[in-house]
Amino acid sequence: MTTPTIELKPSARPTSAGEREAILANPGFGRHFTDHMVTIKWTEGRGWHDGQLVPYAPIPLDPATNVLHYAQEIFEGLKAYRRPDGSVATFRPDQNAKRFQRSAKRLAMPELPVETFIEACDALVGQDKDWVPAHGGEESLYLRPFMIATEVGLGVKPANEYLFLVIASPAGAYFAGGVKPVSIWVSEDRVRAVPGGMGDAKTGGNYAASLLAQAEAATHDCDQVCYLDAVEHQWVEELGGMNLYFVYGDRIVTPTLTGSILEGVTRDSLLTVARDLGYTAEEGRISLDQWQRDSEDGTLTEVFACGTAAVITPVGTVKRSTGAEWKQSGGETGEATARLRQALLDIQRGITEDKHGWMHPLG
C-alpha cells in the first residue's frame, strides 16, 4: 500500500514574531505549541491516507472513541536543533520511527513506514522552523509524534481506524541553572513493566502506571523513581522516563534490554559515543545490592540517567525503601558523565563532526 505525501494547508493567522519570541525566551517544557500539526489517517482496507499539515487545533472525538477506553495509543519524542549556521536538524529520527513501528506492533496497531514518519516530522519542522530556538544554549524544538485508535465503539479489539499526528513544542534547557545531580527513589515493590508486557513499547499506559511511584518518590524528597525487574525485584531496569548507565572508571555499563526496558535512542547513541571517547561500553545486569555495595566501596565511580529530554542527568543521591541511602560520586557530577554529555550535545548541536551520520538536516 502506498503512503500519502503530506498536503500543506498552513495557517492564515500564525503566531506573530513578537509573541513567538516572548515564548521562546522562556519556553519551559510542553507548555506551548507551534502553529501547525501533521495528521495522517489509517483505515482498514485503505491503509494510510489524507496526510495533511494543518493549523494546530483540538481534535474532536466521540465519547466512545476506542482510545479513550482501552488506551490503544503510542508516542515518540525527538528534538530538532538549531546549528551554528542557522540551519535545523533532527537527531536520529529513523531510530524513533523504527521504535514507533515496534510500539505499534506490540499494541496491535498499523505500522507507519519509516519514511512517512520522517516526512511528517520534516514537514512540521520545515513549516514551523522559526520556532526552533537559537543556537548557543540547550534549547530545542521537541517533536511529539503519536497515534491513537479512533474507531468509535466499546468492543475490546484492535481498532479499524487510527489517527497519526505530530505536534511540536519549544523546550527550554532541562537544567536552567547548570547541570544538577538528581536524587533517585528505588521502588522495591512497585514495578513499571513485566516480562511479556509492554515495557519496551512507548505507550501511555506505561507512564500512567509510573505516576503513583513518582508521587511516592516525591514524598521521600526524590526527583525520580528507579524500577527493578518485576520477577526477582533485584535487577536494575530504568527510571520512569530515562535509561541508566553505571560508570566503573573507564568501563560504562547499561542494563541489558530484557523486553521490559524502553530501548532509548540516547542509550544506544551513548554506547557508540563512549567507545569513540575510549571507554569500554557494554550492556550487563546490575543488582540493587551490587549498586549499593560498589558505590560504598568506591568501585562504581558514577551513575547517570539518559534520554532525549535531558541528554544526560547525573545521579547524586540514591534512597532504598530499606532506609539505606548513599551519595553517588559525593553527590556531584562525575567526570565521565560530564564528558559524555558534552560529546553528545556537541554532535546534536552541530558543533562537532557527525561521523556516524546521526543528524538529519532539513531542506
The interaxial angle of helices 93-106 and 265-276, nearest 10 deg, is: 140
CB nearer to ligand PLP: pick between 301 and 308: 308
Across 120-146, b (16+ Cβ under 10 Å) vs e yields bbbbbbebbbebbbebeebbbbbbbbb
The secondary element (H helix, E strand) that includes residue 20 is helix 17-25
Phi-psi label, residue 220: left if phi above 0, alpha if psi -120 to 50, beta otherwise = alpha
Residue 207 class from Cβ within 10 Å (0-12 exposed, 13-18 middle, 19+ buried)?
Answer: middle
The interaxial angle of helices 114-127 and 93-106, nearest 10 deg, is: 130
User: Residue 241 interacts with ligand PLP (CB under 6 A)?
Assistant: yes
Q: Output DSSP code: residue 195.
A: T
Residue among 104, 166, 226, 262 that touches ligand PLP (CB under 6 A) = 262
Residue 264 CB, shortest distance to ligand PLP, in Å, is 3
CB nearer to ligand PLP: pick between 243 and 328: 243
Which listed range, 44-52, 82-90, 159-167, 265-273, lies at the site for ligand PLP (CB under 6 A)?
A: 265-273
User: Residue 243 interacts with ligand PLP (CB under 6 A)?
Assistant: yes
Closest residue to ligand PLP: CB criterion:
264
Of residues 267 through 286, those in contact with ligand PLP by CB under 6 A are 267
Of residues 63 through 82, those in contact with ligand PLP by CB under 6 A are 77
Residue 73 CB, shortest distance to ligand PLP, in Å, is 14
User: Residue 53 interacts with ligand PLP (CB under 6 A)?
Assistant: no
Residue 355 CB, shortest distance to ligand PLP, in Å, is 20
Residue 240 CB, shortest distance to ligand PLP, in Å, is 6
Residue 161 CB, shortest distance to ligand PLP, in Å, is 27
User: Residue 307 interacts with ligand PLP (CB under 6 A)?
Assistant: yes
320 forms beta bridges with: 186
Residue 202 CB, shortest distance to ligand PLP, in Å, is 6
Residue 153 CB, shortest distance to ligand PLP, in Å, is 30
CB atoms within 10 A of CB 101: 18
**Contact string (CB under 6 A) for ligand PLP, positions 221-240, x = contact:** -----------------x--
CB nearer to ligand PLP: pick between 159 and 270: 270
User: Residue 264 interacts with ligand PLP (CB under 6 A)?
Assistant: yes
User: Residue 51 interacts with ligand PLP (CB under 6 A)?
Assistant: no
User: Residue 316 interacts with ligand PLP (CB under 6 A)?
Assistant: no
Write the CA distances from 101 to 141, 266, 358, integer angstroms.
23, 18, 19
- What separation, in Å, do the N-terminal and C-terminal C-alpha atoms of the chain show? 27
CB nearer to ligand PLP: pick between 33 and 75: 75
Cell numbers of 338, please?
560530564
Of residues 101 through 140, those in contact with ligand PLP by CB under 6 A are none
296 forms beta bridges with: none
Residue among 101, 140, 308, 313 that touches ligand PLP (CB under 6 A) = 308
Q: Specify whether the CB–CB gap between 54 and 36 falls below 8 A.
A: yes
Q: Which long-range contacts (C-beta less than 8 Å, at least 24 apart) are formed by 218-221?
A: 220/185, 220/319, 221/183
Residue 94 CB, shortest distance to ligand PLP, in Å, is 12
The secondary element (H helix, E strand) that includes residue 187 is strand 182-187
Residue among 265, 288, 300, 336 that touches ligand PLP (CB under 6 A) = 265
User: Residue 314 interacts with ligand PLP (CB under 6 A)?
Assistant: no
User: Residue 209 interacts with ligand PLP (CB under 6 A)?
Assistant: no
Q: Specify whether the CB–CB gap between 140 and 183 falls below 8 A.
A: no
Cell numbers of 175, please?
537544567
Give the residues lining the site for ligand PLP (CB under 6 A).
77, 238, 241-243, 262, 264-267, 307-308
